[in-house]
Amino acid sequence: MALSNLPKFTKTKELDNKRWFVRALLLSAVLAILCTKVFLTIYVIDMGVGIYSILTSFVLFNILFISYFRYRDPYLKVFDKRIPENDKPLVSIVVPVKNEEADISTCIQSCIDQTYQKKEIIVIDDGSTDRTGDILDSIKDKNKSVNLRIVHLKESGGKKKAIEAASKIAHGEIYAFMDSDCDMAVDATEKAVQIFYSDSQVGALTGHGRVKNRHVGGFWDHFLEKLQDVYADGACRAQKGAESVFSSVSCCAGSLSFYRRAAVQDFIPQWARDRFLGMEFKFATDRRMTAHVLSTRPPKIINKSTNEQYAAVPILSVAGMTKRSTYENSFENKDEESKTKQDVNGYWKVLYSQNIRVNIGVPSTLDSLIKQQVRWRKSFIRSLFAAGGIFWKRPLYVALLYYFQTSMKFIRPYIVATTVVYMPLAGDFITPVVWFAGVLFTGMIYAVDFRLRNPGDRNWLYRPFFTLLSTYIYTWLLIYAAITIKKSGWR
């Protein structure tokens, strides 16, 4: 079903009691395996591999436990509240695009079809050399009544500079950044606004992504897309769900994320011209943008010791004077309410909503997938110097999980090499078998979790395959990305 055709329905209960019981069994299984790994590490397998394996199960248990029992979609907390018409903020939907003639029509149409009416759509054509520019002009001609602006750049400057160009002409109090190979659910913007309006400390919000071709053909058709689909679903609901409990999502996905203008406007030019290792870092680092929001405070909190009126950013200027929108004034109107919600040491909140849906385009061949993953790992390395330096400011528990997981990414190549090459050559076959079994177990846990949340969806079968791909192939890409960090080519 196309996201634009989804019925407007709010499901307030994620699982029935039977499926909740199975979730409890999943957690019990992870805990039992964790205890088994402790025994095996002490008496049977290699100590180093065993300790690493224990840590993976410990992190898995914590992520699942927190996301199961503490996460509640921020939209479900406010879905029944109504925003007065005069208070509704303008949303600037920004779509940077280059050479996406196959997908751009669906993408822009999903923006036009949004149930939220107070919006502007800004499409930046970043020097496309195919038919993308002509298609965009055709869409503009057919939708003259829509607040749609198409900007054609003569030369390609990359995604970040395209977004910067859009930010210079955008008037919205909220930005929606969406990749051009994606399309969002018809009510995505409306739900996002509901969340932002209800809590003025929310600085960024990311949604739940599923892959476009996830149900096309038989088992082997679009195999890689289906692998990525089941991973994306689990990564959103488990990882981002757990982080969202602490209002500290570490990465707002480029597929579709919303930002309060006050949280990012002044940072966008710096982000667009980011430099790393003495050169311009051209990759569009979503983690870097998210890290900025995580590390800064809302304007009213910065200036809480004064009584001055604060306009976060210029929105409309007349004769050199800055006008403040009704929505900006909600910072003041909600000040007392916000004081009761400052559970992140006064910093912006960064949340994830399972109810905000987006279809995402993903690589369909192994070659293109590997190249994408290398780019992502370069961005991950770049973001370490931003997010790594500020995450300790977030709530302690989520900070510890972040540093645990980050450290383990760098240790994993050694563990995989040890279990695949060194130990078999040394005559130790038990440790590699136990390690391999643990990898499959993790994949099956996520597979069952997927099936519980998506009854009837056969894509759960792909999760163990993805876990093997991630463990035995993706692991090495971090090293390659570090070696080739100065190569900025996208393809």
Q: What is the largest CA-CA distance in the chain?
A: 80
Residue 99: helix, strand or coil by DSSP? coil
**Dist CA 380 CA 375 (whole Å):** 9
- 149 touches 67 (CB < 8 A): no
What are the backbone angles phi and psi of residue 313, rounded to the nearest 5°? -145, 155
**Could you please report the per-residue DSSP string of 210-266?**
EETTTTSSSTTTTHHHHHHHHHHHHIIIIIIHHHHHTTB-S---TTEEEEEHHHHTT
**Dist CA 23 CA 491 (whole Å):** 41
- 383 touches 238 (CB < 8 A): no
- pLDDT surpassing 90 at residue 324: no
**Could you please report the per-residue DSSP string of 4-49?**
GG--------SS-HHHHHHHHHHHHHHHHHHHHHHHHHHHTS-HHH
- Band (320; pLDDT cuts 50, 70, 90): very low
Residue 279: helix, strand or coil by DSSP? strand
pLDDT of residue 296: 93
The larger pLDDT score, comparing residue 343 to residue 82, is at 82
Tokens of residue 179, six digits: 């990749």
What is the per-residue pLDDT across 38-93, written as a single tens digit (0 to 9) for each? Answer: 999 999 999 999 999 999 999 999 999 999 999 999 999 999 989 999 999 999 99
C-alpha dihedral (360, 296, 191, 67), degrees to nearest 10: 70
Segment among 157-161, 324-328, 430-434 with least mean pLDDT: 324-328
Across 341-359, average pLDDT: 88
Q: How many CB atoms lie within 10 A of CB 46?
A: 23
- Band (8; pLDDT cuts 50, 70, 90): low
What is the per-residue pLDDT across 439-467, written as a single tens digit (0 to 9) for each? Answer: 999 999 999 999 999 999 999 999 999 99
Amino acid (one-letter) located at 98: K
What are the backbone angles phi and psi of residue 134, rounded to the nearest 5°? -65, -40
Looking at 391-429, list the stretches that DSSP marks H as alpha helix, in order from N- to C-terminal side: 396-417, 423-425
Handedness of CA 263, 76, 387, 305 (dihedral sign): positive
pLDDT of residue 345: 76
Tokens of residue 25, six digits: 């069994």
User: CA nearest 253: which of 274, 269, 273, 231?
Assistant: 231
Instruction: Return the residue matching tokens 């949604």.
Output: 207
- pLDDT surpassing 50 at residue 327: no
Q: What percent of the chain has pLDDT over 70?
A: 88
Tokens of residue 369, six digits: 């997938």
pLDDT of residue 386: 80
What is the per-residue pLDDT across 90-125, written as a single tens digit (0 to 9) for each? Answer: 999 999 999 999 999 999 999 999 999 999 999 999
**Dist CA 280 CA 488 (whole Å):** 9
Query: Which strand (E) or helix (H) includes residue 176?
Result: strand 174-178
What is the per-residue pLDDT across 153-191, written as a single tens digit (0 to 9) for each? Answer: 988 888 999 999 999 999 999 999 999 999 999 999 999
Could you give the C-alpha distances from 59 to 62, 63, 434, in angstroms and in order?
5, 6, 18
User: CA nearest 471: which of 26, 53, 58?
Assistant: 53
pLDDT of residue 311: 39
Q: Can you give the pTM of this predicted structure?
A: 0.88
What is the per-residue pLDDT across 230-253, written as a single tens digit (0 to 9) for each? Answer: 999 999 999 999 999 999 999 999
Cα Rg of the chain, angstroms: 23
- pLDDT surpassing 50 at residue 5: no
Query: Which strand (E) or helix (H) includes residue 270?
Result: helix 268-272
